[in-house]
Amino acid sequence: IIPPELRFAFLKFFNRTFHLFSSYCYFDITELDGVNTNELYNAVQLYLSTSVSIAGNRLSLTRAVNSSSITFGLSNNDSIVDTFNNATVLWEHVVTQRQTQTFAWRPLPEEKRGFTLRIKKRDKTLILNSYLDFIAEKAKEIRRKNQDRLLYTNTRGGSLDSRGHPWESVPFKHPSTFETLAMDPKKKQEIMDDLKDFVLGQMFYQKTGRAWKRGYLLYGPPGTGKSSMIAAMANYLGYDIYDLELTEVHSNSELRKLLMKTSSKSIIVIEDIDCSINLTNRNKSSGFKTGPEHRIGSEIRSGSGSGEESGNGNTITLSGLLNFTDGLWSCCGSERIFIFTTNHIEKLDPALLRSGRMDMHVCMSYCDFSSLKILLRNYLGYEEEDVDDDVLKEMERVVEKAEMTPADVSEALIKNRRDKEKAVRELLVKLKSRWERNVKGGKLRGQSGNLRELEIVEEEEKRAIDSQNEDGDDVEDETELVDNVGKD
């Protein structure tokens, strides 16, 4: 019978000599660090879950809150070999019973869990730090993939909830994808390529000294798929969406707070940007009138900075918004996409339209023939060859001038989806009557209200971009823009 002190001393001595001659070193990563959860433990568990699911034959399965997928885990006291930069390491999941329940603010679990990492001593300095960084990064990615997308909104304005978050979230399950989105396939591909380049562009953005973010402006009449496009983008990239309700935000500093609390790999959306800013009562004080000559954000005249937050204290200004999207604050957190939508691009301030602000302007327009074919496939399961040739030709002839939105067409198809032939027939009738109305009523493309406006705007955009190219660098351009606004 050996007294415990002696036994302890002996074990300690044994351990020391063992470690002296062993060519390995060991690192314990316990589940709890005091009473706090050890982030690294969770990260390792997630990281190992990917390799374990292939290698192991006894696994533990878990499913996280908010997730529809299952994660594999290493079972108790099981081990797995991993390699990193040509070094081989061994992970062991160690689970022991906790001896006594010590006093704690919250009861500790009965089991004590931890991972033990075994690395060869000579590899330690080479890989330990980079390996752990790698694991943390991988775990983050897996967590994001496992979790369902979230849709955040700021219904409380910029005020915080009990956990210090200004955003409320719900699971985002919008089924729209690029495949179901009816639009010109070439334009669609262009957008998808652009998104892919963005996601893979970390090095590019770093090299060129730009913040890793991208802006899209979606414009066009109601029901042409702007919101559907945003959902498709989020589903394509696997990003969360922050739907920013500008009318709930009362000041530029609140806006900044909201931005700071968004995560990277997310899409920040401001829908109907022309309406959002109009509604702030600051407009009264600055003598704001609607109409193209009094554009949104005329307060840019008063300059930026503290001045804008004085006044009636209920001010969110264009310059605040621009700071939000591309000022210094926009780069806290990276890999973010800003999307603005509007039905009236002509009402927007040129400062918002100048290139570099919104990187890509996407016009979502009335249904054309290629969109029509996509909708026929979506709603009726019809490919081109399933529709009668004459009907298809007739549709192709009238569809553009009929000026029906994809939403109108969808509606017509949904109504008769049980009787597909009837659906096609009725759609053709509808298209033709719209076509007749537009052509006979002299409402030809180019003379029609909306389309005409869009054309003017496109002209303006082109001109703005041309002058941009002549101007040279951004800084000069910005001051000139402010000057111009001041003069008109």
Ligand X SMILES: Nc1ncnc2c1ncn2[C@@H]1O[C@H](COP(=O)(O)OP(=O)(O)OP(=O)(O)O)[C@@H](O)[C@H]1O
Residues in touch with ligand X (CB under 6 A): 180-183, 222-228, 343, 364, 406-407, 410
Pair 147, 64: CB distance under 8 Å: yes
Kindly tell me which residue out of 71, 224, 227, 315 binds Mg ion, with binding defined by CB under 5 A.
227
Instruction: Calculate the CA 334 to chain-centre distance.
Output: 11
**132 vs 151 by CB, closer to ligand X:** 151
Does residue 410 bind Mg ion (CB under 5 A)? Answer: no
Question: The tokens of 234 are what?
Answer: 């989020």
Q: Please give the C-alpha separations between residue 134 and each of 47, 407, 451, in angstroms, as whole numbers.
A: 9, 46, 52
CA 309 to chain centre: 29
Interface with Mg ion, residue 251, by CB under 5 A = no
Q: From Mg ion, ligand X, none, which one binds at residue 181 (CB under 5 to 8 Å depending on kind)?
A: ligand X
Quote the least distance from Cβ 345 to Mg ion, whole Å: 14
DSSP state letter for 90: E
User: Least distance in Å: CB of 422 to ligand X?
Assistant: 20
Q: Which does 95 bind (CB under 5 to 8 A by kind): ligand X, Mg ion, none?
A: none
Q: Environment class of residue 462 by beta-carbon count within 10 Å: exposed (0-12), middle (13-18) or buried (19+)?
A: exposed
| 76 close to 59: Cβ distance less than 8 angstroms | no
Nearer to ligand X, 210 or 377 (CB): 377
DSSP-assigned letters across all residues of 458-475:
HHHHHHHHHHHHHH-SHH
* CB of 171 vs ligand X, minimal distance in Å: 18
CB of 256 to ligand X, least distance (A): 27
CA-closest candidate to residue 456, choices 380, 338, 302, 347: 347
Closer by beta carbon to ligand X, 28 or else 384: 384
What are the φ and ψ backbone dihedral angles of 450, each rounded to 5 degrees? -60, -45
- Cα–chain center distance at 198: 12
Contacts of 448 (CB under 8 A, 6+ apart): 403, 438
Instruction: Select from Mg ion, ligand X, none the partner in contact with residue 224, using the beta carbon and a kind-dependent cut-off of 5 to 8 Å.
Output: ligand X
Applying the rule CB under 5 A, the residues between 282 and 321 that interact with Mg ion are: none
How near is the Cβ of 479 to Mg ion at its closest, in Å? 35
Q: Nearer to Mg ion by C-beta: 272 or 335? A: 272
Smallest gap from Cβ 345 to ligand X, in A, equals 12
Closest to ligand X by CB, 309 vs 453, is: 453
* Nearest of 172, 174, 168 to residue 148 by alpha carbon: 172
- 323 with 304: CB under 8 angstroms? yes
Tell me the window of 39-47, 227-235, 318-326, 393-401 that interacts with Mg ion (CB under 5 A): 227-235
Contact between 405 and Mg ion per CB under 5 A = no
Nearer to ligand X, 93 or 434 (CB): 434
Give the residue with the Cβ less far from ligand X, 182 or 233: 182
Site for Mg ion, rule CB under 5 A: 226-227
